[in-house]
Structure 1
Amino acid sequence: MSAQDLIIIMDKLLKIHTSLYEIAIKKTDVIKLNDMNSLNQILKEEQSHIAAIRDLERERQRTVQLLCPIKNNPTISDCIEYVVGTDKDELINISNCLMEVVNKLKEANDLNHQLLQHSLHFINVSLNLLRPQSQSLNYSPSKVKTNAQVHSEGLFNTKA
């Protein structure tokens, strides 16, 4: 395996992550519009991207291991040390771009998570308002004795 093989894999990872980021932006808009059908379609599309990333990541790990056989579980940074010339610059550039896209993707997913949490909270509050409460906050007849009950007991407890 050569550094060029790793660059090709990293470029594919960058493209898929960029596409996944665009999907996350679409998902934000769909969540805001509360369009569940579109959200389901986006989730299916997202799952196919995640499966492709998983496959490419396995391939990247194999390539990195062959490129840097000295280290156990080498990273891209480890491989950059072994690569020279324009391949090194290209690998550094792609890995930096990939890190930027992954950070943007993380921020978009955090925003989507917050939006979904707020939506669920709103739904729960709405359901609680519509559902009858099992506990009454007012006094209930079983806990408050009426005047008739108080007078019938008498003033003294005769069962002493």
Structure 2
Amino acid sequence: MSIANIVATLEKLEKMHKSLLELALAKTEYIKQGDMEKLDQLIKNEQAHVAAINTLEQQRQSMVTDYLRAKGIALTDTPSVADVINAAENSEIKEALVNVRERLVTLLNQLKMQNDLNQKMVLNSLQFINVTLDAMRPQRTEQFNYSGAEIRGNSEITKRSFNEFKA
């Protein structure tokens, strides 16, 4: 297994994550606009991207494992690109690995920040909807006489015995 194959796979991962970031940015706009149809389509597209990324990630892990075994290096639980960088002997290939890894890490951080923003926006929208629904629901008003007892006695609480409230 050559490092060039690992670099190529990392570059494919980088392209897929860039595309996923573009989808996350578009998702932000659709959330702002409240366009549920486009948002639904985008989420389906996003799921396809995630599936492709998972496949590439499995390939990357397999390549890294094969490379490290071929070099006779003891494997950790999840061998990483950093392990390959440490094992690489050619400085040009090592530099290529470092560069693509740094770009990928930066991209992943941007994607995480954008997804966090989208999540917060969706939660805020849901809170707004809940507040609006609560305001639109009729409030239950109970009528009490001057002693504080309920006038009609139709309350569910007054009909239950004390034993029903024990847990």
* Fold shared by both chains (TM-score > 0.5): yes
Query: Residue 148 of structure 1 aligns with which residue?
Result: none
**C-alpha deviation, 1:87, in angstroms:** 1.1
Query: Residue 63 of structure 1 aligns with which residue?
Result: 63
Cα distance in 2, alignment partners of residues 28 and 86 from structure 1? 39
Residue by residue over 1:98-145, the C-alpha shift from the partner in whole angstroms, topping out at 9 and shown as x without a partner, is 0000000000000000100100000000000111123x3xxx433436
Root-mean-square deviation (Å): 1.1
Query: Residue 4 of structure 2 aligns with which residue?
Result: 4
Query: Residue 45 of structure 2 aligns with which residue?
Result: 45
Counting aligned pairs with the same residue, the percent is 39
From 83, 88, 98, give the equivalent of 2:94: 88
Aligned to 2:95, the other structure's residue is in SS state: helix
| TM-score (ref. length: structure 1) | 0.85
Q: Structure 2 matches for 1:3-152, cutoff 5 A? A: 3-69=3-69, 70=73, 71-72=75-76, 73-83=78-88, 84-134=90-140, 136=141, 140-144=142-146
One-letter identity of the residue aligned with 2:13: L
One-letter identity of the residue aligned with 1:104: Q
Aligned to 1:68, the other structure's residue is in SS state: helix
One-letter identity of the residue aligned with 2:128: F
**C-alpha deviation, 1:81, in angstroms:** 1.0
Cα distance in 1, alignment partners of residues 24 and 145 from structure 2? 55
| Ranges in structure 1 where 5+ consecutive residues have no aligned partner | 146-160
| Ranges in structure 2 where 5+ consecutive residues have no aligned partner | 148-167
- Count the aligned residue pairs: 141
Aligned to 2:139, the other structure's residue is in SS state: coil
Residue by residue over 1:28-49, the C-alpha shift from the partner in whole angstroms, topping out at 9 and shown as x without a partner, is 0000000000000110110000
| Bigger Cα Rg | 1
One-letter identity of the residue aligned with 1:42: L
